[in-house]
Amino acid sequence: MPGPNQRAGTSQGWGIIEMDYRRLGRSDLNVSAVCLGTMTWGEQNTEAEAFEQLDHARAAGINFLDTAEMYPVAPRAETFGRTEEIIGNWLADRGGRDKTIVATKATGPSTRFPYMRDGKPRLNRAHITAAIEASLKRLRTDYIDLYQLHWPDRGGNAFGALGYAHDPRADETPIEETLAVLDDLVRAGMVRAIGVSNERPWGVMRFLALADAGRGPRLASIQNPYSLLNRSFETGSAEVAVREECSLLAYAPLGAGTLTGKYLNGRRPPGARLSLWPDNRRYQGAQAEAAVAAYVALARQSGLDPAQMALAFVFSRPFVTAAIIGATTMDHLRDNIAAATLTLPPDVLAGIESIHQIHTYPCP
C-alpha cells in the first residue's frame, strides 16, 4: 500500500508493471487490461506527444489501442481522422503491427458531423464499407483487430439520456443488415473481431442471438462508460457481459478527468478538457460535483491518489476486461497505468459502496 497521499508505482519507476492479459470475448485476441485511449491525439495532444505515449505504453506491456474514425475530440471537420492517421504513422515508423491490437469505430447516426458521409453517417452497408476503407488507409494497415459500432443505429438512452421513449416510426438500420456487413468484413480478412459501444442489453443480446443462429460473427466486446460516476452497466449489461463472454471495455474511467478532483470548487485548470470545452456537461453539475467531492475525500483519508483509487476500482471489477485510460501528459499515463495493479483495501471498497448508495449514477 502506498503511504499517505502517495501514488502507486514500482521501484523500477513509474509504469513498469506486470501487465495482465485477458481474452476478448470468445475471440482469439488477448488484450492488455489497460487499453490506451487515443481521442486527445490531434487536438489536445500533438503527434510527437502521442508517439511518446505509444512508446511508453508498449514498453509497459500495453498492446491494446482504442480509436475511432471521428477522433480527435472535440470533433471538427479540420481534424477529422487525425487520430487514426497518427496511429498509422506510429505503426509505420515503429513496426510491430502484429503485436498491436487496434480497435476503431464506425460512427453511428448523428447530425453533428456535416463532413462525414454527406452529414448523415449510418451503420448500413454503404456507410460501414466507406468508413472502414478510410480507416484502413489512415491507420496504414489492411486489417482492424476490433471493429466497433460507436453507437447504435436506433434511438434510445445513451450519452446521459434518462428514461426510455420508444418511437416505432424511427428510421433505423436493422441489426441484421449491420451484422451482415460485418460478416463480410470478417470473411474478407479486414476485421478480426467485432464490438459495439454505447449499447444496451437488448442490442447486445440481439447481436448475439443472430450470431448464434449463424447470421454473422459473434460480438466480442461492449465498450460502454463505466466509472465511479456511472455504474449503470452493473444493472443489466454486466450479467450479459459475464454470461455471454462479451467483454466490457470501460471507457471514461475517470469521468472525463473529473474524478481526479481537479475541477472541484469551480476550479478550471488551464488546458484541461472541461476548461477547454465547458459545454461538455456529461460529468458536470451539482450531482457530479457532490459525488466527486465524496470520492476524493475518501481517497485522501485513505492515503490514496483520487485518480488511482477511481481507476483501481474499475480495473478490479470482475466484469471489466479492460479499462480504456486517457492521458494528456506522461505523468497521467504513468500514474494511470500503475493504478491497474493497485489493490483497494476492504475499508476503501466499503467506503466506495457507501458513497454509491447516496450518489447513485450521478452521470449516466
Binding region for ligand NAP (CB under 6 A): 37-40, 44, 66, 150, 197-198, 223, 251-257, 260, 262, 272-273, 307, 324-328, 332, 335-336
Residue 285: CB minimum distance to ligand NAP, A: 16
Number of neighbouring beta carbons within 10 Å of residue 11? 5
Q: Which is nearer to ligand NAP, 47 or 184 (CB)?
A: 47
Helices (H), the chain: 47-59, 82-94, 125-139, 175-187, 201-212, 237-243, 273-276, 286-301, 306-315, 330-338, 346-358
Q: Which is nearer to ligand NAP, 32 or 38 (CB)?
A: 38
How far from 357 is each of 114, 263, 291, 350, 361, CA to CA, in Å?
Answer: 42, 23, 11, 11, 10
The dihedral through the CA atoms of 244, 247, 251, 255 has a sign that is positive
CA-nearest of 123, 118, 136 to 69 is 136
Residue 242: CB minimum distance to ligand NAP, A: 20
Q: Which is nearer to ligand NAP, 62 or 325 (CB)?
A: 325
Q: Which is nearer to ligand NAP, 254 or 342 (CB)?
A: 254
Question: What is Dmax (Cα atoms) for the chain?
Answer: 60
Q: Which is nearer to ligand NAP, 251 or 313 (CB)?
A: 251
Residue 332: CB minimum distance to ligand NAP, A: 4
How far from 230 is each of 30, 84, 123, 131, CA to CA, in Å?
Answer: 27, 28, 27, 30
Cell of 252: 471514461
Q: Which is nearer to ligand NAP, 231 or 273 (CB)?
A: 273
Q: Which is nearer to ligand NAP, 208 or 323 (CB)?
A: 323
- Per DSSP, 218 falls in state P
What pairs with residue 191 in β-bridges?
Answer: 144
Asked if 211 and 193 count as a contact pair (C-beta separation under 8 A), the reply is no
Q: Which is the catalytic residue, given 71, 147, 251, 283?
A: 71
Cis peptide before 4 (omega within 30 of 0): no
C-alpha torsion 346→351→352→353, nearest 10:
90
Asked if 127 and 106 count as a contact pair (C-beta separation under 8 A), the reply is yes
How far from 102 is each of 74, 77, 115, CA to CA, in Å?
Answer: 21, 23, 24
Asked if 195 and 220 count as a contact pair (C-beta separation under 8 A), the reply is yes
Residue 187: CB minimum distance to ligand NAP, A: 26
Residue 359: CB minimum distance to ligand NAP, A: 17
Residue 321: CB minimum distance to ligand NAP, A: 14
Residue 169: CB minimum distance to ligand NAP, A: 26
Q: Is 71 a catalytic residue?
A: yes
Q: Three-state SS across 155-177? A: CCCCCCCCCCCCCCCCCCCCHHH
Which residues participate in catalysis according to the annotation? 71
